Structure 1
């Protein structure tokens, strides 16, 4: 039997490492097992690895998986083409799912099934044995509601123009997907749409990230960098979470939009750019203008066309069709046969308020497909808390530290009316830490 090349295992449990080396010896040419990821960068540069099996936790008493996700990102930065299979406990399946969204190829649950583990690793290591999935653009699901039909007609009218678009709506309603749909329907669709998460952009790197920099412009600027504006030339530039941009940086963004040119950090030469600007936010920008938190002239520039996506609870007729789409997709992704959605499960989905909108529904279906053992998605597969509709100030009871942290952040967001600087100050953390925690908890 032909072996599958080299495999690198990173796990802090010696017994696990020894067992895996014996199990995988017939299947791989070389097996190297590390007790810690500390030497991982050196190993990546000294050997050609076909697959990496990465544990999610390495320090005793810490089991939140953040280490595993951190090292997954580091591997993908250094060697983006190496498949990474995550090694995780059964209780952390949702974390492994997040890892797959962030670049992992697959995951294996502890305690593992030998045959399943070997199959997963070989499929990742040998390209010919990997399932060949055609990468296609996810089409926008418009649904049947009157509000979405009006939105669709407006999008079809403005998509092929160069009018700047502002997309608003609650978290999880699909603002980025709508932006991609606009780009796809435009004459710029032959170029890739460039996306920038303004909420995750640090203030110190704002100009370098958006406008680029020349070599030697500042410490560590060893090479010239092309900014997002220049990269989006002749295409669309999508600025997500535009409402999180600090006030003192808004003038620089406005100048670039008005002049249709950027100046790299460390240079005086303007570079013309031809972009179609699409912005999105879940915040009320007119109210922010009244409070002096958002420039009125910038709002006018980005708001030529305003598109508002209604929350999922206001278009309940779309819940079940969306659920069926997600079931089909995740059955294919996790190699499961078609799963049925019985009436009692449908009723449970329809009664849920879906405050997290389509994103919450998608994650709920994904977890249900993963844990389903039969051919039917019973009500037990859907981990939903049945609670009556609540006001924005009512928050659920919590029983874990993570749930308590999430509630504290959510309450601070409400009290500060979405002002992230004020939220970070009230919680005693930096803005960047706040952004990371909001992403983690889906806020």
Structure 2
């Protein structure tokens, strides 16, 4: 038996049942869909190796144009995915047209079982041979899964702006998948032949900022033993993702603004000006317009990075998507920890659906991973779900010194999370490195 995952899309339920029965003995997993508008969600939520796609879905229409349309939609987002077309009308011209538009093969109804299985296996084997050859195959935008209204609107916007070079600011709570969104935008962009470079702006100290972003020459400062390009040079002709950009101090904001305006950099210790061609994507969980009003973020930099603004909704506003994530994480961690045929009890699903998820998708992911590890049987029950059902933010005393407020918030979060700094950082909405820096600063 092959290990692949097959998706069959046909409006005829009898055809779906026949194909599912035929292929379930040949492949690990066979999924079916009666409507082509379900394809996007299924492909995003699952690792599909081959799609079998009908060419006609509307009654009385047999010209194959619907199938060709959905074929193009699939290949636009998943260009390396094999698609085998299926039709009841043996028109050679139609078959050739499908192949010209990127179909891997063509099967006529009624089919010969042996021939059909052979063609699907050939398509699957072609996918396996090419696996790993392109970056987009390795980057599965898991946190972009969704069929809720807010996510469908966001996905639509992503496809609209991805192929432009407009600077994008991504905002959203911690754990919502802002980095995943950035990777998906890059994957869909015209710059995807080169890897996207990422930099955590909250983890860069004042002294290393210019070296990290702009590069340095050998001997430019102590321990500069070699020439080193900065992130801007390394991301030339590609995408530069600046995470936690809201954590930059005003002096560093000024330096960043100069480079974004001039589109060139000068390495430390050099007089040579190097032009850079980058597409900038920034992300933060902070309220930048509010910071602009407070004078802690430069207004001109805000406008420079904010040509397009994308807001990633919190998981509590995406109740329709929670079950999709549950299924995705159950499959992943069941395979990782070799816990076959794990499933959720209905009461467990209800518990997960009604929880407010302050840590968003990342918290859900960690919760399900722990449940898979600790569950004694094959059914995950409510008692296996370790969440803070009555969690509320801890009150902080009102003090005049803002630094003291920050210090108390950190101490409170660390105590609440029993010394787990990763969990504390997530609750505070900062990176681990930023938390470490603050612990050192406050001598905690």
TM (norm. structure 2) is 0.60
- Other structure's SS at 1:219 match: coil
Question: Please, which of 121, 139, 142 is the counterpart of residue 141 of structure 2?
Answer: 139
Q: Is it true that 1:239 corresponds to 2:246 in the alignment?
A: no
Which segment is superposed worse, 362-371 or 134-143? 134-143
Computing the radius of gyration from Cα coordinates, the structure with the larger value is 2
User: Would the alpha carbon gap of residues 181 and 432 (structure 1) be closer, same or farther in structure 2, given more than 3 Å must change?
Assistant: farther
The aligned residue for residue 203 of structure 1 is: 206
User: Would the alpha carbon gap of residues 273 and 392 (structure 1) be closer, same or farther in structure 2, given more than 3 Å must change?
Assistant: farther
Q: Distance in 1 between matches of 2:394 and 2:153?
A: 27
Contact map agreement 1:160 1:187 (CA 8 A) in 2? yes
Q: Distance in 1 between matches of 2:323 and 2:237?
A: 38
CA drift of 1:380 comes to 2.2
CA drift of 1:402 comes to 6.1
The aligned residue for residue 192 of structure 1 is: 195
Q: Distance in 2 between matches of 1:435 and 1:170?
A: 25
The aligned residue for residue 265 of structure 2 is: 262
Contact map agreement 1:200 1:432 (CA 8 A) in 2? no
- Other structure's SS at 2:208 match: helix
CA drift of 1:262 comes to 0.8
The aligned residue for residue 417 of structure 2 is: 403
The aligned residue for residue 48 of structure 1 is: none
The aligned residue for residue 248 of structure 1 is: 251
The aligned residue for residue 295 of structure 2 is: 292
Contact map agreement 2:168 2:280 (CA 8 A) in 1? yes
Q: Distance in 1 between matches of 2:372 and 2:442?
A: 29
Q: Distance in 1 between matches of 2:366 and 2:441?
A: 22
Question: Please, which of 316, 319, 325 is the counterpart of residue 313 of structure 1?
Answer: 316
Question: Please, which of 338, 343, 354 is the counterpart of residue 340 of structure 1?
Answer: 343
Q: Deviations over 1:68-125 (max 9, x none)?
A: xxxxxxxxxxxxxxxxxxxxxxxxxxxxxxxxxxxxxxxxxxxxxxxxxxxxxxxxxx
Q: Distance in 2 between matches of 1:253 and 1:235?
A: 18
The aligned residue for residue 278 of structure 1 is: 281
Contact map agreement 1:200 1:436 (CA 8 A) in 2? no
CA drift of 1:406 comes to 7.6
Q: Distance in 2 between matches of 1:213 and 1:342?
A: 57
Unaligned runs of 5+ in 1: 1-132, 438-443
Q: Distance in 2 between matches of 1:247 and 1:368?
A: 44
Q: Distance in 2 between matches of 1:237 and 1:297?
A: 19
CA drift of 1:372 comes to 2.2
Q: Is it true that 1:331 corresponds to 2:338 in the alignment?
A: no
Q: Distance in 1 between matches of 2:413 and 2:424?
A: 16
Cα-Cα RMSD: 3.2
CA drift of 1:307 comes to 0.2
Q: Distance in 2 between matches of 1:279 and 1:198?
A: 10
- Other structure's SS at 2:379 match: coil
User: Would the alpha carbon gap of residues 236 and 248 (structure 1) be closer, same or farther in structure 2, given more than 3 Å must change?
Assistant: same
Q: Distance in 2 between matches of 1:435 and 1:376?
A: 46
The aligned length equals 291
Contact map agreement 1:247 1:294 (CA 8 A) in 2? yes
CA drift of 1:297 comes to 0.4
The aligned residue for residue 95 of structure 1 is: none
Q: Deviations over 1:340-372 (max 9, x none)?
A: 111011011012110000010011111111222
User: Would the alpha carbon gap of residues 172 and 385 (structure 1) be closer, same or farther in structure 2, given more than 3 Å must change?
Assistant: same
Unaligned runs of 5+ in 2: 1-130, 397-408
User: Would the alpha carbon gap of residues 184 and 242 (structure 1) be closer, same or farther in structure 2, given more than 3 Å must change?
Assistant: same
Q: Distance in 2 between matches of 1:432 and 1:167?
A: 27
User: Would the alpha carbon gap of residues 419 and 142 (structure 1) be closer, same or farther in structure 2, given more than 3 Å must change?
Assistant: closer
TM (norm. structure 1) is 0.60
